[in-house]
Structure formats: C-alpha cells, structure tokens
Structure 1
C-alpha cells in the first residue's frame, strides 16, 4: 500500500510537469506564430512603402518669367511633359520679371528651398556662373553623352564659357529691322531692297520722313532707348562691349563701348535726330511698336520674337530685314538675347534629374516647333524648322524666316558671342542714360565716355566684391 501511494505520487507529479511543459510550449508556439504573422505583416508593409517610394513621382519647381502668350504656351508644354511619363512632375511658377525672379533666387540659391529650374535673362549669365548656386548642364551632358551638336551653335555660344555649357537656352531672340513696305513704295524706295548700312538708313530716312510745318507726321527711323539694341549695333561691326574679349578670356575690368564702333552708332542717331528724321519714342516697347503701327515711324528695330504679331496686326505690308551695320565695317551678325534655363545645385539629386529630363524634352523638334510658332522665339533645335507647322507658318509669313537666316549667318566671334559681366543690367542703364543725353544735345563721344566711366566704376566694385 505504501509503495502504491509513492508510485501514485510520482506519476501525478510527472503528469503535472508534463502538462505545464506542454502549456508553456503551446503559449510559446502561439507567441511565435503571432510574432511571425506580425513580422510578415510588417515586412509586407515595409515592402509596400519601399515600392511606393520607388514609384513616387518626383516634383520639380520651375521659376519662370513668361507672361501672356509665352506663359500659355509654356504651361501647355509643361503639361505635355508631365502627361508623357509618370516619374517626374514639373511645377511652373511665374515669378514676375527677369529681375524680380533673379532677386528671389538670390535669397534661396544653394538651399533646399531653391527651385529646380530658374529662367534667367542672358545678361544674368555671369552672375549665375559666379554665384555658386547652379549646376552646369554640362555635367549631365558629359555623364549621359547627350548630343548638343543637334542644337543651334550660334545660340549655344552665348551660354558656353571655357568649353562648358552652363545653362540650356530657352526663349532666344535677336533684333531685326521692321519697315513699312507701303511707305517705301510711296517714297520711291524698293520695298524688297531695304537699307543695310548706316549711310543707307540715313538716306532712306530722309525720303520716308513726312513733315507738316513744324509737325512731323512720320519719322524715317527709330530705335528703342534700350541698351540691348546698342550692344547689337556695336557687335555687328565686330566691336566689343568690354575688354578681355568681352569678358570671355578673363574677368572684364573696363568698358570698350565708347570706342569707334559705339561712336558710329551714336553719330548715326545724333545725325538723324538733328536732321529731324529720327523718332524718339522712349524706352517702352509698346510705345515704339504703337508708333510703327500708326505709321509715325517707317523703320525701327525690334525683337525677332515680336515679328509675328506685328506682321499679323499692322494695317500695311511689313518688311523684315537684318539690323544695319556701319559702312566702315563688315557685318558680323547678332548676339543672342532672351533667356536660358539654369539648374540649382542645392536640391535633391532626383529633382535635378527631373530638371534635366524636362530640359531635354524642351529641345525635341516637335516641342521647339510649337514654341517657335506660338511665341516667335527661335527653335533651339533647328530641325524644328522642318516640321510641317513651321513650314506652313513660314509660307504664310515669310518674314519669320528672315530672323532665322540672320542668326544662322552670324559669324562666331567674341563680339557676337556677347559680353560677360556680372553688372550688365547696370551697364545697360548707363547706355540708356547716354542715349537720353545724346537726344537732348550732348556730344556723342561725351555721352559715351560718361557711360563708360560709370560702368567701369561698377565693374571695379563687383570685381572687388568677388575677390
């Protein structure tokens, strides 16, 4: 009996221990299963997040200064790019004038708040290069082996410094001369053979001017009081705006625009102004264009981007010709104007990639054809001119092809490549002041010398600050 009780106690203890062990194993297995399920769930969630992250559309902000028809066309192009793929989304944001956009960029350049792309006018090139806020597009060209030989060389030249293309050309234009063909016929001039040299401009201007007593009903020739046209008239003679090969081989230290090429331009204006054949319509583009439309001036200089609208709206037959040059010089051609697109360097690499993909998209012949037709700006990719929509437009308005011919016939020199100075806007204002003084009776050389002196001063200040 005693042995039986001991046996029973041992067996009971064994069963209890076994039961406890099985319960513990069961709880552990349940916990392991739960952990496995949770781990699997977390793994799936993580995988989904990674997948979502990989497929997330990269947004890149694009600051621009286009308004009116230019803005409308630009936004349509941006939308077509966004719709063409799922990886990137460009967000266009209007920032006001070129000057206003550049001022805003100065406050955020080099930070994550900077836009991926900013449109800057051509005279802002030197500042942008020196700012340290931009990534040269040459970096992406070299990395990818992108073929820039397909693009217009005489446009690329302006934005190429020391063999590097710093920004991608966008809205590019040059000056041309517009003239009233009907007025030419009335004056006994050949409407298909407009004046080419300064002497020919003066001669035609006399025949085209109409006076009624002391009142001048129509002037022969006009130039907007804007430094760009002066720069172009100097460059087409082969003249330089500043030293060191227009600031291309070293930082410019002084202005050269008061030398013989610049003096010839001011003498042309002065001679015609004193003869009463030159119309002064100020510094507002709308005013001088209105003067031409209302036949208050028979010839004037305008941007190639303004040709289409003038041809379409003028109540007379409009002719388009190359800008005139001095009889003492050979025609060199024109400097590209307008603006280009710059890429920020303080932003995420994915945003830079988005910017680069968009810049390449802009250069396709189809997009450039649309841009040219919509705005009048040049096609950066000249193959766009072969597109049907361009050929049809040119057939209707052959004047548009003249602007392209002038650009493509331009000789590539330091003069036509354009000047590089960080204080270009200030220098332009000095030229405007000199033109105003000239029209009020100041001697041409004296007016230019004063503008040169003040320009040298601001160049020196800028160079000192950069050091």
Structure 2
C-alpha cells in the first residue's frame, strides 16, 4: 500500500530581512537614525507577519496531508485463477473498478489453477497473508463453507437490501446453502453438445435437428463414422458424468445431494450412472466414438480438425470453437443429451464464485463487497461475457447492445442460454455438495478409464468408485466435526 508523504514546510526568512534593514541604517547619517529605527521596526513587523503566515501555511499543509492520509484507498487483494486472455479480461475489470472507485484499490493476483489457489489459501488461514477475496471453483464450495473462514455474501446483501431478483436463479442456486447465498457467482458455464453441420449433411443427417438422447447420439455417430472420420469423442471428464446425472434428475450423493443434510454416501453407482457409462462404453466399443483421454483440449482439437463429428465442451469454449472452425465447417450446438424417457432435470452450473475472507478488517470486507457489486452490474457482466464466453450472471446483461451484437455474431450461444433457462432448480440440478469433490471427480474419471479399458464392467467400476468416495466423505466429515 502506498503511503502518502507529508507536505514540506519552507523556513521563514525573517532573520535575513532584519539583517538587510540593519545594514541600511549603519550607512545612513545621524539625522536618519529615527527613520532607520522606524524602518527597522517596520521590517521586524513585516517579518513577524511573514512568519505567522508561514506558520499558518504549514498548519494548513499539515491538515491537508492528514486529510489525504485519511482518504488513502482501502486495498482489496483478489486471488484468482484466470490466465491468458481470461486474465487480461480480469485485469480490465479491475482497472475499470479502480478508476471509478478512488476510495478502494483492488489488486488482482493470479495464483495458478483452482487447486493451487485453494491450497495457498489453506496455508494462509493462520496468518494475515491471504486475500481479501478469492475465486474458488464450484466443487470447492463445501470446503469453503466448512472452513468458517468466510463471511457469507448474504450478510452484505441483507445489510444493503441488495436486490438479487435480476440475477440468474439457476446460477445462484448452486452457491445457496440453507437459504443463504455464501458466495457471488463470477464465471459460469455449462456443457453443450457441439457438432459439425457439414459432416451431418454429408452423412444424410438433418443439421438443424441434432441428437437429443443417448440413442439418437449413437445413431448419429454411426452415420458420421466413415471416410476415416469418427462420429464422436467425449473427454473422460468427471464434470460430464455429474452433468449426465443432473440431466436425468438424479442426485450424485445422498441427503438431497448433500443439501438437506451433510452427504455421507456417493450415489455414482446408481442406475443413472450405470446407464450412462454403459452407453458411453458402447460408443467406444462400437468404434463410433474415440477415447482421446481426459483432456477436453484433445477432443476440441480433433473436432476442429474435422476428425470427429460431435463432442462435449463447456459453453465458455464456444467462441473459440466457432472461430476455430471458420472457413472449414459450420458449428452447430445442442442441449446435453439424456437417456430416452428422462424428463425432469437439466444442467448444473460450472465455473467459480467469489468468497469474502473473514480474517480481514470490516472495512476491507465491505470494500470487497463493493467490488463484487460492480462485477454483477449488467454493463460489467456484458463486457465479461463477450470477452470470455462465460454466462452473464444477471439477466439484464442481455439487454446491453454489445451482448445483442455478440449473440448475432455467435447465435450458437443461444443454445447455452436456453439450456440454462430450461433447467428446473431441484437438488439434482443445484449440484452435489461434498467436501472431497475434487478427489471424487478424479476417482470417477479413473472408473471410466477402467470401464473403457475392459478391466471392469461399468457397474463394477462405479461400485468401486462409490465405495472409495464414500470412505473419503466419511473421513472428511469426521475431520470437520
């Protein structure tokens, strides 16, 4: 934090003035003594007045310096995990805020991946070295609540009578626990199906009628698999399995997805999971889908190269995918597929939210809240959306002209908006809550790999994964207690 410097005080020159007057009297005749004395007295009086004026100026300068010190901006340190172009967008938001809020200075500090940042925060909890505000991915929410290291944003909402009615209910739902909003959503996405419209036409498929169910995806993949190209490839990403559950209205852990009470058991081996993994494995075994591993970057590259006809990816990747396909093929988008007959459900929001740390002074926490409110403004959300591809968290952002223009340039994004709004907010679509979610996601990805590799059938792979996750949940719950 920069310190304000005290204004310097110039020295009075009264002694020099008096000396000059005295020299003038010594060179004058005896008849001028009286005049000289009068001049000397006048000079002394003038010097006294000057000194008094100088002292007054000094006092004024000191008062101004003190006032400046009192107005020194409150510093808010924000830890985030946005790199590259996303980091540039973050820095621009911070610059805009600081320019319009001279009483607050936000400093954005990149801390690496979500896991890196969370681990650094854990290490800082016993000291004052941590942030005022931190961006945490959605699956870290349970840990943040249990840490007792945060002030729920609901406290500030209530104190300000802040209106949340214009914010997206399905986004707020994830970060709401016991009817209290604990953090403010920031970067939000969900998964959609991307498909190559040109390949659809060449395969005799209707490019305006993409597959909506597991069975339709398989049939389309069969038709697309020809001439050295393969119908589909979906990255082995635990987030996709979580989404397939929500899209069937199925809960991922017990006790209302961990929202009516603390989760104690993984439900990944339920019918929803077995049905999904069996379908997914069948696509691989039938050679109408490729297994390209865990990285979505690899499936994205294959899609943009025209090697596969369909893939799953985040809505945040939409702009990059559409731009990457320009001049090669037209990109289509569709809702996440679900099993035949599944009606209730929808998608769970992914991404991250902003948490205010409670080990900072009250004025610093309040300053962090002011920044959060700025980020939630429609115009700010509009800029964030068009520069990153993440959802605006406020519905009013869609009224901003730059969002309308962006939607005209990327009409595929309407699929993402429609899918979000079509989702009914129930425990399954609010998202599962457990303190070991990062580890659970890795465990599920391992189970998918075992099924694809033939080491275990889908039911056994998921049974073993559920058992391992349940054990981790039990250990975590005991630690928290």
Query: What is the TM-score with the length of structure 1 in the denominator?
Result: 0.89
- 2:459 aligns to what? 445
Say if 1:110 and 1:345, in contact at 8 Å, map to a contact too: no
- 1:156 aligns to what? 172
Which piece of structure 1 moves more, 237-246 or 283-292?
283-292
Q: d(CA) in 2 for partners of 1:338 and 1:350?
A: 28
After TM superposition, give the deviation of residue 273 of structure 1 in Å.
1.4
Alignment pair present for 1:386 and 2:399: yes
Q: d(CA) in 2 for partners of 1:179 and 1:365?
A: 31
Structure 1 gaps, min length 5: 1-35, 212-216
1:352-371 alignment runs, 5 A limit: 352-371=365-384
- 2:91 aligns to what? 75
1:317 to 330, 334, 344: 330
The one-character-per-residue Cα deviations of 1:67-122 (angstroms, maximum 9, x if unpaired) are 11111111111101000121001000000000000000001126422211100000
After TM superposition, give the deviation of residue 353 of structure 1 in Å.
1.6
- 1:263 aligns to what? 274
After TM superposition, give the deviation of residue 43 of structure 1 in Å.
7.6
Say if 1:219 and 1:278, in contact at 8 Å, map to a contact too: yes
Q: Alignment partner of 2:473: what SS? A: helix
Q: d(CA) in 1 for partners of 2:107 and 2:130?
A: 13
> For residues 329 and 96 of structure 1, do their structure 2 counterparts lie closer, same or farther at Cα, with a shift above 3 Å needed?
same
Number of residue pairs matched by the alignment = 427
1:63 to 64, 79, 83: 79
- 1:462 aligns to what? 476
Q: Alignment partner of 1:89: what SS? A: strand
1:207 to 211, 217, 223: 223
Q: d(CA) in 2 for partners of 1:418 and 1:188?
A: 38
After TM superposition, give the deviation of residue 38 of structure 1 in Å.
13
Alignment pair present for 1:126 and 2:142: yes
Which piece of structure 1 moves more, 232-241 or 102-111?
102-111
The one-character-per-residue Cα deviations of 1:345-389 (angstroms, maximum 9, x if unpaired) are 001222112111110000111111111100000001111111111
1:103-252 alignment runs, 5 A limit: 103-109=119-125, 111-210=127-226, 217-252=228-263
After TM superposition, give the deviation of residue 41 of structure 1 in Å.
9.6
Q: Alignment partner of 1:61: what SS? A: strand
Q: Alignment partner of 1:93: what SS? A: strand
After TM superposition, give the deviation of residue 46 of structure 1 in Å.
7.0
Q: Alignment partner of 1:278: what SS? A: coil
- 1:286 aligns to what? 297
Which piece of structure 1 moves more, 152-161 or 68-77?
68-77
Q: d(CA) in 2 for partners of 1:158 and 1:209?
A: 38
Q: Alignment partner of 2:250: what SS? A: coil
The one-character-per-residue Cα deviations of 1:193-238 (angstroms, maximum 9, x if unpaired) are 0000111111111111126xxxxx3221221111000100111001
Q: d(CA) in 2 for partners of 1:356 and 1:50?
A: 27
Q: Alignment partner of 1:339: what SS? A: strand
Q: d(CA) in 1 for partners of 2:346 and 2:322?
A: 23
Q: d(CA) in 1 for partners of 2:344 and 2:312?
A: 16
Q: Alignment partner of 2:107: what SS? A: strand
- RMSD over aligned CA atoms reads 1.8
Q: d(CA) in 1 for partners of 2:133 and 2:448?
A: 35
- 1:9 aligns to what? none
Q: d(CA) in 1 for partners of 2:290 and 2:342?
A: 25
Q: d(CA) in 2 for partners of 1:227 and 1:358?
A: 33
After TM superposition, give the deviation of residue 285 of structure 1 in Å.
2.1
Alignment pair present for 1:335 and 2:348: yes
After TM superposition, give the deviation of residue 52 of structure 1 in Å.
2.5
Q: d(CA) in 1 for partners of 2:148 and 2:58?
A: 44
Which piece of structure 1 moves more, 324-333 or 374-383?
324-333
After TM superposition, give the deviation of residue 328 of structure 1 in Å.
3.2
Q: d(CA) in 1 for partners of 2:230 and 2:467?
A: 32
Q: d(CA) in 1 for partners of 2:248 and 2:91?
A: 39
Q: Alignment partner of 1:92: what SS? A: strand
Q: d(CA) in 1 for partners of 2:109 and 2:252?
A: 34
Say if 1:111 and 1:347, in contact at 8 Å, map to a contact too: no
After TM superposition, give the deviation of residue 49 of structure 1 in Å.
5.5
1:416 to 429, 436, 443: 429
Q: d(CA) in 2 for partners of 1:407 and 1:103?
A: 31
